[in-house]
Amino acid sequence: MDSFDPPRLRGVKKRDLSAIAELEAAAFGSNSLTRSALDVIFDPSGGLWLLAEDDEGAWGHSVNARGEDPAIGWIVGMAIHPERQRRGWGQLLLRATIQRLQDHDMEVVRLLVKPANKIARHLYETAGFLDTGERMDHFGPGEDRMVMSLLLSSQSGRSGGGHVNGAMVPQVPAS
Ligand SMILES: CC(C)(COP(=O)(O)OP(=O)(O)OC[C@H]1O[C@@H](n2cnc3c(N)ncnc32)[C@H](O)[C@@H]1OP(=O)(O)O)[C@@H](O)C(=O)NCCC(=O)NCCS
């Protein structure tokens, strides 16, 4: 991979939602989260939603939530704009997301991914996520999702930057 500047990572603010809707549409096309869906998600996300940006704007985000079981954090969605893909941003954002969930006392991180999305699966596997074998079909026929899960190491600890499961994590301002 070529060497590119890393993104700055921070919590999402309401004023970021239009830029996020645009990057979602660029990354996912018609399956993207719309601006009105993002408005609904904003408050319940309670500070777990991260933005990746540079001087030219917002180019990536991960929406995260605490599960019904408070020890479980969910990565509800994650995307990097095609213009910033393949620069290591996805990996940095994922690590920072895991750290953010751990800082909020979550012990397990789970997510849903399309079995055919090999790029995303590779990203998650590299971070240590395992296929749980569970499948969810609540997106409708032919739209099943695999459930991947990461057990957080109790030794990783809280940090403002540091290591998650052995990998460097960039510092994200607390919010
Ligand atoms: C999945 C996604 C977030 C990855 O973001 P990214 O910033 O491009 O990822 P990175 O640059 O950190 O690369 C991570 C790994 O994926 C690989 N990768 C990324 N894009 C790739 C591509 N188009 N083809 C092959 N491999 C690719 C990288 O080589 C790297 O592999 P490595 O760790 O073995 O070196 C991004 O592709 C995306 O937003 N996709 C559309 C939305 C999506 O699918 N979201 C996930 C839904 S669950």
> Residue 50: beta bridge partners?
11, 62
pLDDT band at 161 (very low <50, low <70, confident <90, very high): low
How far apart CA 2 and CA 62 sit, in angstroms, is 23
Q: What is the pLDDT of residue 3?
A: 83
Residue 169 has pLDDT above 60, yes or no: yes
Specify the 3-state DSSP secondary structure of 10: strand
Judge whether 99 and 111 are in contact, CB under 8 Å: no
How does pLDDT run across 98-108, given as a tens digit for each residue? 999 999 999 99
The helix or strand, by DSSP H or E, that contains position 100, with its residue range, turns out to be helix 89-103
Q: Which CATH class is domain 8-169?
A: alpha beta
Q: What is the pLDDT of residue 154?
A: 67
Cα 120 to ligand 1 centre (Å): 6
Residue 91 has pLDDT above 70, yes or no: yes
- Work out the number of other CB atoms within 10 angstroms of the CB of residue 161: 12
Q: Which atom of ligand 1 is nearest to the CA of 114?
A: 48
Mean pLDDT of the chain: 90
pLDDT band at 175 (very low <50, low <70, confident <90, very high): low
Domain ranges of the chain: 8-169
Nearest to 149 by CA among 71, 92, 61, 87: 71
How far apart CA 22 and CA 109 sit, in angstroms, is 27
The helix or strand, by DSSP H or E, that contains position 148, with its residue range, turns out to be strand 145-151
Closest C-alpha to ligand 1, atom 9: 90
Cα 119 to ligand 1 centre (Å): 5
Q: What is the pLDDT of residue 148?
A: 97
How does pLDDT run across 19-59, given as a tens digit for each residue? 999 999 999 999 899 999 999 999 877 789 999 999 999 99
